[in-house]
Amino acid sequence: MEGFDIKIAGHAARVRPLFSSTRDYCARYLTEDVPEAIITVSQEDLQAQQQALFEEALREGLRPRTFTDPFLERTVIQEKLAAHLSRYDIFPFHGSAIAADGVGYLFTADTGTGKSTHTRLWRQLLGERAVMINDDKPFLQITEDGAVVHGSPWSGKHGLDTNIAVPLGGICILERGEEDRIWRISPEEAMPQLRKQAGGADPRLLDRLGERVRLWHLCCTATVHAAEVAFQAMGR
């Protein structure tokens, strides 16, 4: 089918998909800018992606699933785009990212821990002051002064994303608990989880991320009080 151009994290790419639904999926990121790269998808790409997801599920102790071809295509595009953007110190990160008062906060954890629930509570707490950046795979850009978090269409089952870019004010590793408490952690403490959720990003980029962005650990309940505790600490 006919290709289209998207712009993610300030960089445009031409996408040549197999399925028309892929253009609709990327609608908020369409651009008329001149593309820097061309991303094509083949049936062999889809087969390889299905096998990779099957093996990933086995490694994580999850039940393997068979995905639809349009889903596999979107994943292939994300990975090929990430490979292109890596030369600009940009990479996707598994987490739920929200902007509050123009600053981004990223919550990361293993699947099913409650990242989406927690950022929903931030929106409930802050109202119009809070905007979802991306609920699954925001893109992070390392800069001289810190990091920027960018929206992307790869936003998980809830489809919560906004085509914006804001400075990243902090990354928080989240875990469920019976009380709400948050504390700062060192890059060394955070690094195992950062590496796990950064999808194979260059370790040197993760070192720079840990050095330039404040890192937190949050033990929390699924209540608005948890959002209050987190925002009071991270939003200072």
**Statement: residue 2 has pLDDT above 90:** no
Same domain, 121 and 17: no
Same domain, 68 and 153: no
Same domain, 226 and 162: yes
**Statement: residue 191 has pLDDT above 90:** yes
Same domain, 72 and 103: no
Q: Looking at 53, 88, 123, which one is the last position of a domain? A: 88
Spatial CB neighbours of 219, under 8 Å, sequence gap ≥ 6: 175, 176, 177, 179, 180, 181, 182
Residue 17 banded pLDDT, cuts 50, 70, 90: very high
**Statement: residue 236 has pLDDT above 90:** no
Q: Looking at 60, 88, 116, which one is the last position of a domain? A: 88
Indicate the number of domains in the chain.
2
d(C-alpha 15, C-alpha 127), whole Å: 36
| One-letter amino acid for residue 159 of the chain | G
Question: How is 131-199 classified by DSSP, letter by letter?
Answer: EEEESS--EEEE-SSSEEEE--S--TTTT-B-S-EEEEEEEEEEEE-SS-EEEE--HHHHHHHHHHHTT
The pTM is what?
Answer: 0.94
Spatial CB neighbours of 50, under 8 Å, sequence gap ≥ 6: 66, 67, 72
pLDDT in tens, 158-174: 899 999 999 999 999 99
Same domain, 17 and 127: no
Question: What residues does 170 pair with on adjacent strands?
Answer: 105
Q: Which domain holds residue 60?
A: 4-88
pLDDT in tens, 72-116: 999 999 999 999 999 999 999 999 999 999 999 999 988 778 899
Same domain, 12 and 43: yes
d(C-alpha 123, C-alpha 76), whole Å: 31
d(C-alpha 47, C-alpha 51), whole Å: 6
